[in-house]
Chain A
Amino acid sequence: RKEVEQDPGPFNVPEGATVAFNCTYSNSASQSFFWYRQDCRKEPKLLMSVYSSGNEDGRFTAQLNRASQYISLLIRDSKLSDSATYLCVVNRMNRDDKIIFGKGTRLHILP
């Protein structure tokens, strides 16, 4: 099993729809989790951190399920500008200090 797995997509979603994607991780020692967004030919940018209690930022909701070892991202009322690749990041603090990026999920919002 890969350390961090995401469905690569693409997800083609009409504007205004709700879309959700998950990211699974294999190491139960993982401690911090993030969603990043990367636009074509640009650098990744932090979208939101993922807390154990879940967190919401406007149209975006992130959740962590430690028992099943996955994090999720929900986008409501999707906009054309949400089209991007969404990267899941898992950070494990131990001697290896490994930060692992998922390969990303491509999202296309259709007009």
Chain B
Amino acid sequence: DTAVSQTPKYLVTQMGNDKSIKCEQNLGHDTMYWYKQDSKKFLKIMFSYNNKELIINETVPNRFSPKSPDKAHLNLHINSLELGDSAVYFCASSRSLVGEAFFGQGTRLTVV
């Protein structure tokens, strides 16, 4: 019974396409996140979503937009994909902004 699940696990797409990654958590947590891990394995937060408040990392291009239909879901939509968007994207959730985070298995995005 997966606590944080994201789909798809692998995504290969062409430059310029629009794609979405879905994330769901069944832990009853109030906070969800999207992280990007690049080829150098550096894990960087993109967004956090807590009680309907979205906190955006200012370095994230506006081609990336998170969408939260409810507290258990935080999807990531990416417009006009670029080669540099290739990375592993992790969804995570935590009870609060200071609590430990539980991660999904990651989505390996490859833009060709």
Contact = CB atoms under 8 A, between A and B. Distances in A.
A9 B16 CA distance: 37
Contacts, number: 48
A91 interface: yes
A93 interface: yes
Interface string A33-60: 0100000001111100100000000000
A104 B41 CA distance: 8
Contacts of A98: 45
A32 B103 CA distance: 18
Contacts of B104: 43
Contacts of A100: 45
Given A93-B98, A97-B97, A43 B90 contact: yes
B64 interface: no
Given A43-B103, A43-B106, A32 B98 contact: yes
Chain A interface residue number, banded: 20 to 34
Interface residues of B, number: 22
Contacts of A99: 33, 45, 48, 97, 101
Nearest to A93: B98
A44 B98 CA distance: 17
B20 to A, nearest CB: 19
A101 interface: yes
Given A32-B99, A44-B103, A46-B100, 7 more contacts: A45-B103, A93-B98, A99-B48, A100-B45, A101-B42, A101-B45, A104-B43
A97 B48 contact: yes
A34 B41 contact: no
